[in-house]
Structure 1
Amino acid sequence: MNYLDKVASFAHSLSIFNITEEVRERVKLLILDTFTAIVVGNQHLEVSQLADSVTSFKSTGNNELGFILGTNMLTDYRTAAFINGIGMVSDELDEGNQIAKGHPACHYFSALLMLALQNKKSGSDFLTAFIVNYEISVRMGASVQLKRSIHPHGNWGVFANGFGVGKLLGWENKNDYIQAAMLSTSFSMPTLWQSVLEGHQVRNIMIGLNNLHTTLLPDLVESGFSASAFTPEKIFNGVLADSFDTTYITKNLGEEFYLLSSYFKFYPYCRFCHSPIDATLSLIKGRKIDEIKGVYIETYSSAAKLKEQKVENEFAGKFSIPYAVAMELSNRRYPLINGREKERKIQELMKKIFVFEKKLYTELLPNKRITTVKIEWENGETNSTTVQRAKGDIDEYKLTEKVILKSKEYLFPILGEDKVERFIETVLKLDRVEELTTVIKPLVKEI
């Protein structure tokens, strides 16, 4: 049995009854956090303008309606999957997985949700399909070593979508799972780090397209469309990646759940920025940031490339360690300052923050992700610290409580306390929810 057969067998056979309570609870937390990221992201000007431009084409049948979460907009379910997918990654608040080296859920979540709503699936159906999609996605991410110029949004994450969709819809033919996966993999995007670092949001669109394409898979498979079973090898072994090892895809599949290794974001920046933020904040304590002469950050290679001390816009800042650190320091020192004055202070502080690669830290990847921060003060003093984790890692103290609090803090201003409390309560009992519309109703503003 080759790796595709093994993956299809896992997807087909996984049952809610052989998923442990620990895995169920973590999945519900991931789903809660993902909904939060979508609602917050959908408030962005670019996303709301795009949503407004496409929602004039509204479906005439209730069965086709798709909700743009966190708004009062309705459209067809495929367009909703597209817009919600973009929103999910627009604010850099979505979950991630260190084993996968990226963000598995963003590639499929909004598509799976819309398909579940259209097909009147239960909460447990959605939860089980989410797990199938996530576990295969993480292993695919671990199997692929992308080229340095390729960003991990839009490519390896789509391989698992055919298996997740097949599970959600209850397909019996395992070859349908495989063909859906080969079609989905064929839609891999050559997302460039260069565009991200320059502040272009095209990679967000690619995630939206991933989700839109995923909603097409059932119709494509049923209509007889197909793709080569060698598609992953050809795309990820020389085109978008330098190497692809299929042995990782089936490693402990069904026995060990890698979603338990996922992390949650408590800062709205690329994950590579989080450890430097944590370390710098721990060194500042009660001192004034105006007394900083220089901040020197040593980290591993993939994080060290986020070193720009001048960014074109706020989105580019989400992928700049100097910007992220300066912003978080400024938010604590000047919480009431906005506009040009705050921007000026952030720019001044960024010029004092320097990021370097430390070869030893790179060599310790992926088992350890180490960052050292040293602050030099105007009076000549220095202090430094080294961290091997970031806030939101799997060992985070009271992680569940903190993720719930994060959702409340972000969603209360958008939807109101009553709706948000009801939403959180429903998600945390998702495996007992018979109709998914009860989950998303609190996330829809009055129409």
Structure 2
Amino acid sequence: MDFDLPQDLVDYLKELDDFIEREIKPLQAQDDNERFFDHRREYARTDFENGGLPRPEWEELLAKARKLADDAGHYRYAWPKEMGGKGGSQLAMAVIREHLAAKGLGLFNDLQTEHSIVGNNPFVLMFKEFATNWQYERYADKLLNGQMRTGFGLTEPNHGSDATHMETRAVRETRDGKPGWRIDGAKMWTTGMHVASHCMVFARTSGKDGDAAGITCFIVPKETPGFVIEEYLWTFNMPTDHPRISITNCWVPEDSYWGEIDKGLGLGQSFVHQNRIRQAASSLGAATFCIEESVKYARERKPFGKALSENQAIQWPLIELHTQCEMLRQLIRKTAWEMDKMDHKTIEKTISDKVSMCNYWANRLVCEAADRAMQVHGGIGYSRHKPFEHIYRHHRRYRITEGSEEIQMRKVGAYLFGYLGPRKQMFKDRESQGDQYVQPIPAPR
């Protein structure tokens, strides 16, 4: 086995570092833009008098950084080559996201808004994988030039992790002689709708509650009558761009869907698999940052005449976190490497449990690392003059979003016990042969 990273990827990390030093850091230093990253960051970013939305000047700064990255050929790195990207692999994206997150807070990579000089954009790959030919012809140009920005409307007020019981319904209805769909329901946490042009609205079109089939993904223009942003929900980490949406008597034309009728959950699985492995890599990078900053501080801080780092009470918790990072890194990279060798449907059937392992453990680990960094740094670590509270508040959300850690552990359990995944047939075969799985424990002599 060769665990060395490909040389072209190592070289690209160096190219990104040089780009950050040359282009991004000078922009961050201009016009007191540091206020978005130092102790003033939450206030500087948040328009508290406007529903808690991001301030326009904050989003304008992010747009400038993305433009610099796009002009330099970095932003669309993961996009397919035929769509103007470089076809970056899942492994490469995992390594890049860990690398950038390990640098700490900065304009080069701010995951509170999924902003990065190397864009995530899982919707682009999802579009390529699932769009029909006519859908590609209709939407591709708008998507690639930024005219089409979508929110992801899967979660509902009464239904989070279990999308198969969603209450949003779409029924065929003709209006003014045109065939179409009437959609009624509600969505929650539909991130980014304040700047989106459309929303991907998942709705049941056939079947019964609990069925995986029978759900369709509709592309609904934001200005469609009956599609209403009711409120933006304030969160642990501000600003917010996560609204509650009502959908009432909302009509769209017949062809306003993505992929195939009744097979919409496949799109959702594609989206979460890409996001989960990349979020895991980012959480790993942020955890590494917290550990390294704590080690550096413990070496420099000398209460009672000796360095904090000489105390085992300081060493051992950081040693355990460091050990977990080393092990997790290999699982993330192996899983991303395996994802590169198969299509989306095969990922769901074979290694979805590995993606979940990476994600739930990484998101838990970074919260523990940030908490430990606060403790090592003492009072200043608890303050906003250090980035640890921001890292904790941001990454804490990932233990809930994209599938809570309990739901992801449930997925791992289903694979482990053979209710899903490659082991399912093995357990069926054993049952048919009458195998005894549980052997009695011999009595002590």
What range is the shorter-chain TM-score in?
under 0.3
TM-score (structure 2 length as normaliser): 0.27
Query: When you count strand as a share of all residues, which structure comes out higher?
Result: 2
Which of the two has higher C-alpha Rg?
Answer: 2
Structure with higher RCO (Cα < 8 A, 6+ apart) = 1
